[in-house]
């Protein structure tokens, strides 16, 4: 029964607060209720009134009415704290599954200043102090993630209890834009890419005689193929060669390199590999079913690869009013459009 | 500025998060709330409260630690034990209030979390309420309300530790809020129906009150003469009576027993007119507020914890909360444990019915004397009796007092055995109570029914001469004797001995002795000759009198009087409806205001407004903005439609874009805004020249129809 009520309530709220990256808080979408402290305060007022009646004490009546009126005034003030405030999702963050993804919100106060705001998503809450009227302030709200893919926070709650904590006014923001959650990196087993680029397989680091090798001590996570085994046999030191040749001969990270493994696990392996390659500055390409990213190096490339790992096979979530603005990609294209417009 | 935490953090974590400033306000409020109680609370309790609060503060500062659970329990049990020993089983409202204070004090050690803070807030508010039971003067009321205001400041700090704008903003916010709700409070105060008490709550405080008591030993009243506390205040509808006629009769003492005068018939605990069944048992403190008729007078009496009311001779009750008793004295139905206002009317002397003969049982009562003692006084009575009739005896006695060297003094000698004899024949020094007792004794010995009347005589004018203040040092005792054909007549031996006392008051009567309020250094009346002190004291009293009369004393009767003056047929039920109506209308108005403000609040920041204006301009130029269209797209369309504006539009769109998507830090909003406005103006000019729009109208933002529709996405972009 309570579940039914809750789901009804949920639907009602969702109807009232459509998904959007910009949320202007007005009477339509603001909720206000007394807090526990407020309910207790009401009971206190009742006791005071009874005391006043029983002792026929005018001053107790007076103070009771005064406090009651202050409560009403506080209702007004609490409501005004949020009313007119505009919440904008500035940046939907990226991160690895299991981490908290930061969503950057910008709160712009309306005519009245907004005081003691608390933003929360799931069980995280962030205290956003005080936004003077007409100004704005950015805040990062962490949203916990579990799986790879798009992360669209169901609701981000904004709440205030100022001035007296007797009442709470709150609203939700239901962003359209989704954050991107990369697969959680898991150390990949040594594999051989099935995709061979010319004569050079990724594994065939037949490197003897190559003078351009940079040698460095082995560290955790280095692929065994790259250990100078001969050198090891001689000196007992694990040394890894970083071949100049690497940069010229891209390695392919391949989805199909892990036969028999669960898909999600493969993404995790690939994620780890991408990070590793990104760190070492190696050139690499990514081969996913239906999607190939040409070899390249650098941080931007790694991020791009991670994104396609995150998004592969995932449907981009859309809100009821599908207005896909606010994501980075859209920002970029908007800028591009603006630039294009300027170029006309 | 921002930090994050798990909401479900353990409560221990929050212990440190109570802002020191909030706690400080709470402690300040506690100190303020204790002040009115200082005279009632035992010293040890005050010391305990101060040390517990200081402990909490030092702990907050990190100097000491708050006690653990066991120590805390120990302290609590210990203090409660001390309290119980001190109280020794006498449970009155007074001791209950002390216990409440102790509980508040103990709570300081437990204030660790936000929830504890709120608990402390509630009990401090209630402590203010309890204070109102004991003190209702305006300065105490202001102090209590001030303490509550401090609590609300504390709450603000608790809820926003960085309190924007600092304390000043906090006070301003609270002040504005109070101003806004004040009309509502006033309406509720006036119209909320004053119901009868729901159940019986006697407010008998354990403290001894200054005032006359129901028995009189010679010397009782002279100790009262050292107090300048107010007894009551009187407003007359007509002219004030002369000083010498201001005899305020309180109670009648008719039985002499072992040197003590007392009331007969009251010893058994039976009191006439007392209605213990009449639930609930509280004195009716309100005597109504109608216009005073010329013969009427209003008495506002300080609490006495007794049932008697003070009245001029020959008065009748004009308000329902006093009842007249057989001896021409007035009583309340319940002991006056709060200030009571009642109304009396002086009878028309011309219409006074000649008194009938004294009933036999009354005659017996007023002739009662102890079997033995004071033989010389009895001899004197017999001697006077032989010479003349009743009236002659009275005259002779008064002549004796006037002509022989009797002294009126606040420092009478001790007269332990046969006190009346030694007063009349040896010492000849005494206070009003001595002489009244002796006179009654002599008259009764001479066979004339006589009784002692205790009350007050005199009273000084309050500021502006609007009312009379009668103080404890005006306490007086005199005699009434039954003279056949005339009824009870007043005989005041003090008037014969010290006419000054009756004509102008105690100060003048004992001026030579210098004993006026000699033990009372704090009293303003002691310095009656210093004009400024006297003036200040009277002004304060005037303010308090009006406060007491109109605010504190505003109870059922006044309310009904007031309502009946407004329009006919205002009863309790109508008041109830009216109150509900006021609350409803108040909430409605508040709702409307907030709705209007919210509508106003939709107004955007500067950029939003400029964008809105641009959209309007585009609309008038024939390129209405489409839902969700980006500024760039609109600019492009505008450029196609109106090539003259192309550059401006593009630049405008670009700037808008960069405003919304540039990092916040890199902005110079004001400059941006100026340029945007200039661009907008240019576009309008260009369009006007092109003849596209004729008049540029600046609608006030509020009236613009577009604003009335919620447009959550206007100004935002879509590809």
Task: State residue B712's pLDDT score.
Answer: 42
- On whether both A19 and A126 belong to a single domain, the answer is yes
Burial B431-462 (b: 16+ CB within 10 A, else e): bbbbbbbbbbbbbbbbebbbbbbbbbbbbbeb
Domain assignment of residue A103, given as a range: 2-178
pLDDT in tens, B626-680: 766 778 888 888 888 888 888 888 888 888 887 777 665 555 667 778 888 888 8
Q: pLDDT tens-digit profile of B242-254?
A: 888 899 998 888 8
How many CA atoms lie less than 13 Å away from B262 in the CB half-sphere? Answer: 11
CB B513 within 8 A of CB B407: no
Q: Which residues contact B656 (CB under 8 A, 6 or more apart)?
A: B607, B610, B611, B631, B676, B715
**Adjacency order of strands within the sheet including B3-6:** A31-34, A167-173, A156-160, A114-121, A124-131, B3-6
- A337/B633 CB distance under 8 A: yes
Per-residue pLDDT of chain A (344 residues; tens, 9 = 90+): 688 888 888 888 888 888 888 888 888 888 999 999 999 999 999 999 999 988 888 999 999 999 999 998 999 889 888 888 888 998 888 889 888 888 999 998 888 888 888 888 877 888 887 888 888 888 888 888 888 888 888 888 999 998 899 999 999 988 888 889 999 988 887 755 444 444 444 444 444 444 455 677 776 666 666 777 777 777 777 777 665 444 445 578 888 878 778 888 888 888 888 888 888 888 888 888 888 888 888 888 888 898 888 888 877 776 444 444 443 444 344 444 444 444 33
Q: Residue A23 and residue B712: Cβ atoms within 8 Å?
A: yes
Question: If we measure between CA atoms, which residue out of A307, A248, A297 comes closest to residue A276?
Answer: A297
Write the CB contacts of A15 (distance below 8 Å, at least 6 apart in sequence).
none
Interhelix angle for B93-107 vs B114-134, to 10°? Answer: 160
Residues A48 and A155 in one domain: yes
Same domain, A84 and A165: yes
Q: CA-based diameter of chain A, in Å?
A: 105
The predicted complex's ipTM stands at 0.74
Instruction: List all residues 6 or more positions away from B23 whose beta carbon is below 8 Å from its beta carbon.
Output: B56, B57, B60, B111, B117, B154
- Burial of residue A197 (number of CB atoms within 10 Å: 0-12, 13-18, 19+): middle
On whether residue A320 sits in a domain, the answer given is: no
Question: How far does Cα B638 stand from its chain's mean position?
Answer: 71
Cis bond before residue A163 (omega within 30° of 0): yes
Chain A residues near residue B148 by CB distance under 8 angstroms: 63, 66-67
Residue B630, phi-psi category: left (phi > 0), alpha (psi -120 to 50), beta (remainder): beta
- Give me the sign of the Cα torsion angle B396, B397, B400, B401: negative
**CA max distance for chain B:** 134
Token reading at A282: 């190696």
B379 is catalytic: no
Judgement on whether residues A162 and A232 belong to the same structural domain of the protein = no
A74 neighbourhood in chain B, CB within 8 Å: 177
Q: Cα separations (Å) of A144 from A179, A181, A308, B403?
A: 11, 10, 20, 105
Token digits of residue B268: 């058994």
Does A328 touch chain B if contact means CB atoms closer than 8 Å? no
**Rounded distance between C-alpha atoms, residue B687 and residue A67, angstroms:** 59
Give the A window 141-160 contacts with B, CB below 8 Å: 142
- For residue A331, being part of any structural domain is answered with no
The answer to whether position A339 is within a domain reads no
Looking at the fold, whether A267 and A218 belong to one and the same domain comes out as yes
Instruction: Give the list of residues 6+ apart from residue A212 with CB closer than 8 angstroms, or none.
Output: A243, A244, A245
Residues of chain A found within 8 Å of residue B630, distances taken between Cβ atoms: 334, 337-338
Q: What is the rounded distance in angstroms from the CA atom of residue B33 to the CA atom of residue A57?
A: 18
Same domain assignment for residues A128 and A220: no
Same domain, A68 and A143: yes
Helices marked H in chain A — which ranges? 2-16, 36-54, 58-82, 229-235, 244-248, 263-280, 299-311, 328-343
Per-residue tokens: B247? 């005899």
Contact B440, B397 (CB under 8 A): no
Peptide bond just before B356 cis, omega within 30 deg = no
Q: Report the C-alpha gap between B121 and B109 in whole angstroms.
A: 14
Convert B83-117 to b/e letters by CB count within 10 Å (16 or more is b): beeebeeeeebbbebbbebbebbbbbbbbbbbebb
SS3 content of chain A, % helix, strand, coil (to 5): 35, 30, 35
Contact call for residues B122 and A40 (beta carbons, < 8 A): yes
Catalytic choice (B432, B618, B648, B672): B432
Q: Output Rg (C-alpha) for chain B, integer angstroms.
A: 39
Classify the C-alpha dihedral B223-B314-B307-B194 as positive or negative: negative
Tell me which residue has tokens 């692929």. Answer: A223
DSSP, collapsed to helix, strand or coil, labels residue B81 as helix
Q: Are residues A133 and A23 in the same domain?
A: yes
Q: Are strands A94-96 and A179-182 parallel, antiparallel or unpaired?
A: parallel
Residue of chain B whose Cα is closest to the Cα of A74: B177
Alpha-carbon B41 to chain mean position? 19
Count, residues in chain A: 344
Task: Give dist(CA B666, CA B643) in Å, integer.
Answer: 32
Which chain B residues have a beta carbon less than 8 Å from that of A48?
125-126, 129
Residue to substitute from B634, B708, B717, interface A, most A β-carbons within 10 A: B717
Per-residue confidence (pLDDT) for residue B419, from 0 to 100:
83
Number of domains in chain A: 2
Q: Tell me, yes or no, whether A336 lies in a domain.
A: no
Does a structural domain hold residue A137? yes
Return d(Cα B381, Cα B445) in angstroms, integer. 6
**Letter string b/e over residues B569-589, b meaning 16 or more CB atoms within 10 A of that residue's CB:** ebeeeebeebbeebbeebeee
Classify the C-alpha dihedral A155-A156-A162-A166 as positive or negative. Answer: positive
Comparing alpha-carbon positions, the chain A residue that sits nearest to B549 is: A58
Lookup: tokens for B613: 């204006």
Mutation choice for A interface testing from B93, B150, B159 by most A CBs within 10 A: B159
C-alpha to C-alpha distances, B26 to B18, B30, B37, B108, B174, nearest whole angstrom: 12, 6, 17, 10, 16
Q: Is residue A224 part of a domain?
A: yes
Please answer whether residues B263 and B250 qualify as being in contact, where contact means their C-beta atoms are separated by less than 8 angstroms: no
Give the span between the Cα atoms of A165 and A45, in whole angstroms.
16
3-class SS of residue B166: helix
- The answer on A269 and A133 residing in a single domain is no
Coil, strand or helix at B448: coil
Side by side, which strands form the sheet with B322-324?
A: B308-309, B330-332, B322-324
Domain layout of chain B by residue ranges: 11-163, 606-708
Q: Is B432 a catalytic residue?
A: yes
Q: Is B476 one of the annotated active-site residues of the chain?
A: yes
What is the mean pLDDT for each group of 10 consecutive residues in chain B (719 residues)? 38 57 90 88 89 89 83 89 81 79 87 89 93 88 94 90 78 91 89 80 61 76 79 89 89 84 61 46 73 87 86 86 84 83 82 72 86 87 86 89 87 80 87 89 91 90 85 90 86 88 81 75 72 84 87 81 68 75 80 65 64 83 76 85 84 82 62 84 84 50 40 41
Report the alpha-carbon distance of residue B172 to residue B34 in Å, rounded: 26
- SS3 state at B47: helix
Specify the pLDDT at position B537.
84
CB B513 within 8 A of CB B409: yes
Q: CB of A324 within 8 Å of any CB in chain B?
A: yes
Tell me if B636 and A344 make a contact (CB, 8 A cut-off). Answer: yes
Binary contact (A59, B551; C-beta < 8 A): yes
Do A68 and B188 lie within an 8 Å CB cutoff? yes
Question: Is residue A172 within a helix (H) or strand (E), and if so which, with residue range?
Answer: strand A167-173
Residue A274 in any domain: the answer is: yes
Same domain, A135 and A243: no
Query: Within the 44-63 window of chain A, which residues sit less than 8 Å (CB to CB) from chain B?
Result: 44, 47-48, 50-63
From CA A139, how far away is CA A160, in angstroms rounded? 15
Residue-level pLDDT at B541: 87
In a domain, A199, yes or no: no
CA distance B584 to B570: 19
Q: Are residues A154 and A277 in the same domain?
A: no
The three-class DSSP label of residue A247 is helix
Beta strand residue intervals within B426-549, DSSP E: 429-430, 450-457, 460-461, 468-471, 475-483, 487-491
The reply to whether residue A125 touches residue B197, judged by beta carbons under 8 angstroms, is no
Residue B293: CB atoms within 10 Å: 12
Question: Beta partners for A121?
Answer: A124
Judged by DSSP in three states, B527 sits in helix
pLDDT of residue A207: 42
Tokens representing A24? 């202007």
Distance from CA of B48 to the nearest CA of A (A): 26
Q: Which residues make beta-bridge pairs with B469? A: B233, B460
Q: Taking the mean position of all CA atoms in its chain, how far away is CA A322? A: 20
């Amino acid at each position: 029964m309570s579940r039914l009520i809750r789901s009804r309530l949920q639907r009602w709220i969702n109807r009232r607060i459509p998904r959007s990256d910009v949320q202007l808080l007005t009477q339509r979408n603001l909720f206000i209720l007394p807090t526990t402290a407020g309910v207790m305060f009401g009971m206190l007022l009742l006791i005071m009134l009874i005391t006043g009646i029983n002792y026929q004490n005018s001053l107790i009546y007076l103070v009771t009415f005064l406090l009651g009126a202050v409560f009403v005034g506080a209702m007004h003030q609490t409501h005004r704290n949020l009313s007119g405030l505009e919440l904008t999702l500035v940046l939907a963050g990226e991160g690895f599954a299991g981490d908290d993804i930061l969503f950057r919100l910008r709160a712009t106060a309306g005519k009245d200043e907004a005081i003691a705001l608390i933003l929360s998503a799931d069980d995280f809450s962030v205290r956003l102090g005080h936004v003077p009227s007409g100004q704005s302030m950015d805040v990062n709200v962490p949203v916990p993630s579990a799986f790879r893919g798009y992360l669209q926070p169901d609701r981000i709650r904004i709440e205030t209890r100022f001035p007296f904590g007797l009442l709470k006014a709150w609203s939700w923001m239901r962003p359209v834009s989704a954050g991107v959650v990369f697969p959680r990196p898991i150390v990949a087993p040594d594999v051989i890419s099935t995709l061979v680029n010319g004569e050079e397989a990724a594994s065939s680091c037949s490197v003897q005689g190559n003078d351009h090798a940079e040698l460095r001590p082995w560290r955790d996570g280095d692929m065994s193929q790259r250990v100078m085994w001969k050198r090891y046999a001689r000196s007992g030191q694990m040394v890894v060669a970083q071949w100049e040749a690497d940069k010229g001969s891209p390695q392919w990270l391949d989805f199909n390199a892990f036969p028999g493994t669960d898909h999600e696990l493969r993404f995790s392996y690939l994620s780890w590999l991408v990070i590793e390659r990104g760190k070492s500055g190696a050139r690499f390409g990514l081969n996913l079913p239906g999607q190939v990213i040409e070899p390249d190096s650098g941080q931007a490339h790694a991020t791009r690869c991670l994104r396609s790992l995150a998004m592969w096979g995932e449907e981009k979530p859309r809100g009821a009013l599908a207005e896909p603005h606010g994501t980075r990609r859209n920002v970029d294209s908007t800028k591009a459009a603006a630039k294009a417009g300027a170029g006309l | 500025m921002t930090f994050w935490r798990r909401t479900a953090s353990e409560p221990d974590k929050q212990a440190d998060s109570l802002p020191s400033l909030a706690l400080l306000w709470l402690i300040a409020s506690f100190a303020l709330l204790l002040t009115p109680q200082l005279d009632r609370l035992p010293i040890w309790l005050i010391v305990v409260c101060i040390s517990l609060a200081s402990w909490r503060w030092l702990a907050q500062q990190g100097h000491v630690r708050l006690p653990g659970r066991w120590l805390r329990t120990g302290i609590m049990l210990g203090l409660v034990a001390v309290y119980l020993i001190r109280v020794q089983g006498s449970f009155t409202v007074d001791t209950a209030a002390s216990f409440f204070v102790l509980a508040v004090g103990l709570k300081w050690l437990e204030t660790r979390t936000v929830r504890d803070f709120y608990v402390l807030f509630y009990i401090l508010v209630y402590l203010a309420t309890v204070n109102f039971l004991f003190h209702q003067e305006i300065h105490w009321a202001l102090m209590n309300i001030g303490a509550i205001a401090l609590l609300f400041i504390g709450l603000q700090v608790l809820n926003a530790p960085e309190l924007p704008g600092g304390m000043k903003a906090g006070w301003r916010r609270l002040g504005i809020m109070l101003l806004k709700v004040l009309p509502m409070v006033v309406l509720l105060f006036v119209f909320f129906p004053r119901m009868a008490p729901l159940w019986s709550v006697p407010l008998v405080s354990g403290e001894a009150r200054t005032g006359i008591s129901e028995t009189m030993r010679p010397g009782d009243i002279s100790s009262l003469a050292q107090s300048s506390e107010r007894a009551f205040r009187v407003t007359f509808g007509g002219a004030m009576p002369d000083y010498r006629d201001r005899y305020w009769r309180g109670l009648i003492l008719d039985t002499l027993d072992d040197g003590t005068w007392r009331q007969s018939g009251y010893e058994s605990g039976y009191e006439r007119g007392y209605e213990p069944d009449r639930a609930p048992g509280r004195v009716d403190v309100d005597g109504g507020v109608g216009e005073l008729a010329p013969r009427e007078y209003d008495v506002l009496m300080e609490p006495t914890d007794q049932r008697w009311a003070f009245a001029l001779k020959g008065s009748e009750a004009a308000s329902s909360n006093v009842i007249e008793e057989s001896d021409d004295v007035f009583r309340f139905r319940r002991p006056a444990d709060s200030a009571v206002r009642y109304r009396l009317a002086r009878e028309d002397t011309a219409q006074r019915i000649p008194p009938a003969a004294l009933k036999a049982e009354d005659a017996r009562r007023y002739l009662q004397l102890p079997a033995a003692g004071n033989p010389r006084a009895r001899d004197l009575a017999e001697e006077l009796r032989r010479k003349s009739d009743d009236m002659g005896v009275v005259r002779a006695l008064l002549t004796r007092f006037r002509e022989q060297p009797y002294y009126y003094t606040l420092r009478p000698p001790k007269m332990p055995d046969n006190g009346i004899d030694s007063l009349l024949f040896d010492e000849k020094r005494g206070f009003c109570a001595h002489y009244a007792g002796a006179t009654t004794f002599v008259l009764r010995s001479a066979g004339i029914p006589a009784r002692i009347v205790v009350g007050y005589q005199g009273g000084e004018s309050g500021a502006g001469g609007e009312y009379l203040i009668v103080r404890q040092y005006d306490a007086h005792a005199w005699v009434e004797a039954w003279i056949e054909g005339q009824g009870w007549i007043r005989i005041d031996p003090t008037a014969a001995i010290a006419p000054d006392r009756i004509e102008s008051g105690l100060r003048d009567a004992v001026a030579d002795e210098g004993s006026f309020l000699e033990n009372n250094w704090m009293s303003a009346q002691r310095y009656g000759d210093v004009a400024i002190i006297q003036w200040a004291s009277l002004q304060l009293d005037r303010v308090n009198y009006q406060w007491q009369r109109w605010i504190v004393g505003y109870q059922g009767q006044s309310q009904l009087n007031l309502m009946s003056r407004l329009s006919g047929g205002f009863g309790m039920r109508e008041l109830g409806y009216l109150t509900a109506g006021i609350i409803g209308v108040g909430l409605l108005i508040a709702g409307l205001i907030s709705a209007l403000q919210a509508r106003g609040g939709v107004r955007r920041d500067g950029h939003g407004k400029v964008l809105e204006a641009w959209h309007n301009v585009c609309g008038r130029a024939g390129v209405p903005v489409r839902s969700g269209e980006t500024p760039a797209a609109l600019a492009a369309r505008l450029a196609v439609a109106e090539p003259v504006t192309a550059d401006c539009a593009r630049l405008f769109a670009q700037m808008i874009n960069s405003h919304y998507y540039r990092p916040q830090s890199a902005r110079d909003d004001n400059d941006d805004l100026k340029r945007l406005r200039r661009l907008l103006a240019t576009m309008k000019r260009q369009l006007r020249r092109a003849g596209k729009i004729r008049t540029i109208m600046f609608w006030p933002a509020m009236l613009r129809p577009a604003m009335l529709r919620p447009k959550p996405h206007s100004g935002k972009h879509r590809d």
